[in-house]
């Protein structure tokens, strides 16, 4: 009969093995001799000893693995940065969990240069006095959108909060019931309105809101009208909503500003894949007081909340006390300016902004990359084939868009798809794919050629 863990714990031989374990200081000494800091060496030694103690007590210790080797492995793990690059093979382009939009090369270079030392973040080099951090993107944003004013904060939720507080704080904010949505991270429109100090006034129904609903709601206590784009879902069938032009015309006739949260930042024109997203330029042209959108979704830049619109409304936002609490940092500003520069040339934007490039990737490009992975994986002795599957825009944008194309499907064999996916996530660099019908899919749409090669090598490595 097998002895229980309790009976094993009383075994004299077991107690002797536990007593034979070195002290933390003894095990940390060779790590410190190799250059590890005292703190990290002690932490790694303690972790290795505790792990070995538990293994011995449970009867599963492997004495073939040296304790010093385990301590060195613990040291390497403790020294590794927690936030690190990942190969996105999921086919989800703006993957929120994987950092959303990868930056254009020029944006990466701009952020690196600013991070390297000091910068003119809030210094006017011509005048030799204090300037505004907003000056670096203000003119560029106004040029690209046709707006009279522009402001950048740290994300789109902050932009909506600031606009609501500045234009409707202490007064009524009118919103369609069909737009009282929740998006990722439990971000709910009613909660934002509450934090702004405005009083929410709901109009219409979940599926139908008419212009007459807004007409009845607008009154002397109305501070603003908010339109919130339902980014990550669509209501279909018996539905009706008011077009932004009609809403702005009505609101203007009553002297009420319109705040339009268009979400994902569809600034590029002439791209069919973006047709279902509200265009920033359309909302500006319609006469919205403030148009809010994200920098790190379909715009393809860093995390930021962009606000463009009427000069007087933007100035009210700029001078509101919340503006400092939600201001954008210098690295994001540098990357944003460089990203926006590409939009001056639509062809350059499609070519240089990774999100746009992935959205519009052609069949031949994707097929070649999928085949590259298949060949490398098969050459490593693992079964793989090219099949067809659908990628997604992600990031709460374009929920109905299916980007069909070739993908590399890996047969996990006896390992199983879930275990293969786990091993790939543990590789260096980590590879995140998706599982479908027992296969592990590597989507070439969200990988470049180098990344595809690394993903294939990781697959071969975990089977090696």
* End-to-end CA gap in the chain: 38
Encode pLDDT of 155-177 as tens digits.
Answer: 999 999 999 999 999 999 999 99
Given a contact cutoff of 8 angstroms between Cβ atoms, the answer to whether 27 and 71 are in contact is: yes
**Do both 335 and 371 map to the same domain?**
no
**Do both 300 and 448 map to the same domain?**
no
**Mean residue pLDDT across the chain:** 92
pTM of the model: 0.89
- C-alpha 339/C-alpha 349 separation (Å) is 8
**Do both 128 and 229 map to the same domain?**
yes
**Do both 298 and 381 map to the same domain?**
no
> Among residues 304, 337, 352, which one ends one of the domains?
352
pLDDT of 4: 45
Given a contact cutoff of 8 angstroms between Cβ atoms, the answer to whether 317 and 169 are in contact is: no
The CATH number of the domain holding residue 393 is 3.90.1150.180
Query: At 64, is the pLDDT very low, low, confident or very high (cuts 50, 70, 90)?
Result: low
Residue 100 within any structural domain of the chain: no
**Do both 365 and 341 map to the same domain?**
no
Task: Answer whether residue 409 shows pLDDT above 50.
Answer: yes
In sequence order, the 6+-apart residues with CB closer than 8 A to the CB of 31 are 40, 41, 44, 45, 71, 72, 75
Residue 45 within any structural domain of the chain: yes
Encode pLDDT of 440-449 as tens digits.
Answer: 999 999 999 9
The strands making up 403-410's β-sheet, listed across from edge to edge, are 92-94, 384-394, 403-410, 439-442, 434-436
Q: Compute how many other C-beta atoms are within 10 angstroms of the C-beta atom of residue 315.
A: 14
**Do both 46 and 128 map to the same domain?**
no
The stretch 26-45 carries a mean pLDDT of 93
Encode pLDDT of 262-308 as tens digits.
Answer: 988 789 888 999 988 889 999 999 999 999 999 999 999 999 999 99
Given a contact cutoff of 8 angstroms between Cβ atoms, the answer to whether 43 and 20 are in contact is: no
Residue 3 within any structural domain of the chain: no
Encode pLDDT of 333-374 as tens digits.
Answer: 999 999 999 999 999 999 999 999 999 999 999 999 999 999
pLDDT of 61: 67
Residue 262 within any structural domain of the chain: yes
Domain count, the chain: 3
> Among residues 301, 336, 352, which one ends one of the domains?
352
Residue 308 within any structural domain of the chain: yes
Residue 198 within any structural domain of the chain: yes
What is the separation of C-alpha 218 from the centre of its chain, rounded to a whole number of angstroms?
37
Q: What angle do CA 122, 127, 132 make, to 5 degrees?
A: 25
**Do both 156 and 259 map to the same domain?**
yes
* Higher-confidence position of 183 and 57: 57
Residue 2 within any structural domain of the chain: no
Q: Compute how many other C-beta atoms are within 10 angstroms of the C-beta atom of residue 96.
A: 15
Query: At 9, is the pLDDT very low, low, confident or very high (cuts 50, 70, 90)?
Result: very low
pLDDT of 186: 64
The CATH number of the domain holding residue 224 is 3.40.640.10
The stretch 36-53 carries a mean pLDDT of 92
Encode pLDDT of 93-123 as tens digits.
Answer: 999 999 999 999 999 999 999 999 999 999 9
Given a contact cutoff of 8 angstroms between Cβ atoms, the answer to whether 462 and 118 are in contact is: no
**Do both 294 and 419 map to the same domain?**
no
- C-alpha 302/C-alpha 304 separation (Å) is 6
pLDDT of 424: 97
Lowest mean pLDDT among 3-7, 219-223, 285-289: 3-7
Residue 31 is part of which domain span?
8-77
């Amino acid at each position: 009969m097998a002895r229980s863990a309790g009976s094993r714990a009383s075994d004299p031989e077991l107690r002797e093995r536990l007593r034979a374990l070195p002290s933390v200081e003894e095990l940390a000494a060779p790590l410190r001799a190799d250059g590890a800091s005292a703190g990290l060496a002690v932490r790694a030694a303690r972790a290795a000893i505790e792990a070995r103690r538990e293994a011995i007590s449970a009867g599963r210790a492997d004495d073939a693995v040296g304790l010093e080797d385990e301590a060195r492995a613990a040291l390497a793990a403790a020294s590794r940065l927690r936030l690190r690059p990942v190969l996105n093979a999921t086919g989800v382009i703006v993957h929120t969990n994987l950092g959303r939009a990868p930056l254009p090369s020029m944006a990466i270079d701009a952020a690196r240069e600013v991070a390297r030392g000091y910068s003119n973040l809030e210094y006017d080099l011509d005048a030799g006095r204090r300037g505004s951090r907003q000056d670096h993107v203000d003119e560029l944003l106004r040029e690209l959108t046709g707006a009279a004013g522009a402001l950048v904060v740290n994300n789109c939720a902050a932009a909506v909060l600031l606009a609501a507080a500045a234009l409707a704080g202490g007064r009524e904010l009118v919103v369609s019931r069909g737009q009282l949505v929740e998006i990722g991270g439990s971000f709910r429109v009613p909660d934002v309105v509450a934090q702004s100090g405005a009083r929410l006034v709901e109009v219409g129904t979940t599926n139908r809101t008419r212009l007459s609903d807004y007409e009845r709601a607008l009154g002397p206590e109305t501070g603003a009208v908010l339109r919130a784009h339902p980014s990550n879902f669509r209501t279909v069938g018996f539905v009706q909503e008011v077009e932004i032009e009609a809403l702005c015309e009505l609101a203007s006739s009553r002297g009420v500003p319109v705040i339009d949260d268009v979400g994902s930042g569809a600034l590029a024109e002439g791209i069919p894949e973006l047709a279902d997203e509200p265009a920033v330029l359309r909302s500006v042209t319609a006469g919205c007081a403030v148009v809010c959108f994200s920098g790190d979704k379909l715009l393809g830049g860093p995390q930021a909340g962009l606000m463009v619109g009427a000069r007087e409304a933007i100035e009210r936002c700029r001078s509101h006390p919340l503006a400092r609490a939600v201001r954008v940092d210098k690295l994001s500003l540098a990357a944003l300016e460089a990203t926006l520069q590409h939009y001056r040339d639509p062809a350059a934007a499609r070519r240089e902004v990774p999100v746009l490039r992935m959205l519009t990737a052609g069949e031949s490009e994707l097929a070649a990359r999928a085949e590259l992975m298949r060949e490398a994986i098969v050459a490593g002795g693992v079964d793989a084939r090219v099949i067809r599957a659908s990628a997604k825009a992600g990031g709460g944008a374009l929920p109905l868009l299916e980007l069909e194309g070739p993908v590399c499907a890996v047969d996990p064999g006896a390992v199983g798809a879930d275990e293969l996916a786990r091993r790939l996530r543990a590789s260096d660099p980590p590879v995140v794919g998706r599982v479908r019908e027992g296969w592990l899919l590597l989507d070439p749409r969200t990988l470049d050629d180098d990344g595809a090669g690394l993903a294939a090598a990781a697959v071969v490595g975990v089977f090696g």
